[in-house]
Structure 1
Amino acid sequence: MARMPAAERRRQLVEAAIRVMTRDGVARATTRSIAAEAGVSLSVFHYCFASKQDLFESVVETITEHSVAGVDPSVALEGTVRDTVRAGLRAYWDHVVTHPGEHMLTYELTQYALRRPGFEHLARRQYERYAAAHVQLVERLRDSAGLELLVPAATLARYLAVVTDGLTLNHLVLCDPERAEELLDVIADQCAALVRRPPRP
């Protein structure tokens, strides 16, 4: 087995954990199955992670990174404010459609953490991470498109997090792409009403 830096090995194990949890469920994901998926020994796993809780924290952070990594609102800067907002939503939604198992895993991680003594704070951390990621996206949108927000960035970010969270779960249950697209249009309209391009001097 080739040697690699500890940070890279941790990343490898986290990605393996996401694959195992997506395939088998959180409760059935054991340290042994995760190590096997990553092609490493159990001793390597325990060297990289002090506990399963430590692993879960890294999984939550990485899952959040996956879902927002491709969102680049700058793709529609030539259009209207609404076009720019819709482009950001489109990028997020493409990830939901192409990686439904990962998004299903996020809900399972939340429920698992809330029901397991000692893990409850991970559910809060998960949603704090989502909120922080949405704040970054809103600020990127504001700065790259030269927009003025009519509500605080944190408020708009939390609104986006709440509605996209609900829409994602609704889509995973009902699997109605046409209805989801209609709702994304409504969300874009509502968000566009909360921002504006400042008048040119």
Structure 2
Amino acid sequence: MARMPLADRRRQLTEAAIRAMARDGVPRTTTRSIVAEAGVSLSVFHYCFDSKQALLESVIETITAHYVGVVKDAIRPRATLRETIRAGFQAYWDHVAAHPEEHMLTYELTQYALRQPGFEHLARRQYELYSETYCALIEQLRGMMTFELRVPDTVLARYLAAMTDGVTLNHLVLGNDRVAAEILDMISDHVAGLIREEAPAV
């Protein structure tokens, strides 16, 4: 087996775990099924992760990173601040439409963590990560345009995390693209209404 840097090997095993869990479900995914998916030995897994909690945290962070990257790329100055915000939501939604199995897995991970004694902190970390992600996106937007929020960044971040979490689950259950688009339009309008826009950044 070719030698690989630890960070790359962890990434390989995490992506394999995501595929296996999305296919088989979290409770039915074993360490052996993950290494089989990755094509590595069991000893490699234990070298990379010292616990199942560590693996699941890596899975949560990696799934989040999958769609955060496309959202960051989509957030660039447009004709209005509202259009910029809506483009970010659309990039997220395009990822939901293209990878519904990953987003479904996030809900299963939450439920699994809440039901497993000793794993509860992973569910908390998952939702803290969502809010932290929105805080970072707000800061990215501030780097492009100067504006003042009518609410604290952290409050808006938690609101956006809750809204997108809800609309994603609603879509996974009902599968109605039109309804999802209408909700994202409304969220964009609401967020734009919470911003007092000032002069563009130089």
Equivalent position amino acid for 2:35 in 1: A
Aligned length: 200
Q: Paired residue for 2:133?
A: 133
CA–CA distance in 1 between the matches of 2:23 and 2:191?
35
* TM-score normalised over the length of structure 1: 0.95
Alignment of 1:104-115 (within 5 A): 104-115=104-115
- SS of 2:143's equivalent in the other structure is helix
Q: Paired residue for 1:192?
A: 192
Q: Paired residue for 1:22?
A: 22
Equivalent position amino acid for 1:97 in 2: A
Q: Report the alpha carbon displacement of residue 199 of structure 1 after superposing the two structures with TM.
A: 4.6
Q: Paired residue for 1:61?
A: 61
* TM-score normalised over the length of structure 2: 0.95
8 A contact 1:76–1:83 mirrored in 2: no
CA–CA distance in 1 between the matches of 2:62 and 2:73?
21
Q: Report the alpha carbon displacement of residue 196 of structure 1 after superposing the two structures with TM.
A: 2.8
- SS of 1:71's equivalent in the other structure is helix
Equivalent position amino acid for 2:135 in 1: V
CA–CA distance in 1 between the matches of 2:18 and 2:78?
37
CA–CA distance in 1 between the matches of 2:199 and 2:60?
41
The sequence identity of aligned pairs, in percent, is 64
Q: Report the alpha carbon displacement of residue 50 of structure 1 after superposing the two structures with TM.
A: 0.6
Deviations 1:88-122 (A, max 9, x none): 11111111111100000000000000000110111
Q: Report the alpha carbon displacement of residue 74 of structure 1 after superposing the two structures with TM.
A: 6.0
- Bigger mean CA offset, 1-10 vs 166-175: 1-10
Unaligned runs of 5+ in 2: none
Q: Paired residue for 1:5?
A: 5
Runs of 4+ residues over 6 Å off in structure 1: none
Q: Report the alpha carbon displacement of residue 76 of structure 1 after superposing the two structures with TM.
A: 4.9
- Bigger mean CA offset, 191-200 vs 40-49: 191-200
Q: Paired residue for 2:70?
A: 70
- Bigger mean CA offset, 116-125 vs 138-147: 138-147
- SS of 2:198's equivalent in the other structure is coil
Equivalent position amino acid for 1:174 in 2: L
User: Is residue 146 of structure 1 aligned with residue 146 of structure 2?
Assistant: yes
- SS of 1:118's equivalent in the other structure is coil
8 A contact 1:73–1:84 mirrored in 2: no
Q: Cα RMSD over matched residues? A: 1.4
Q: Report the alpha carbon displacement of residue 81 of structure 1 after superposing the two structures with TM.
A: 1.4
CA–CA distance in 2 between the matches of 1:73 and 1:16?
25
Deviations 1:40-96 (A, max 9, x none): 001111111111111111111111111211113765513111101101111111111
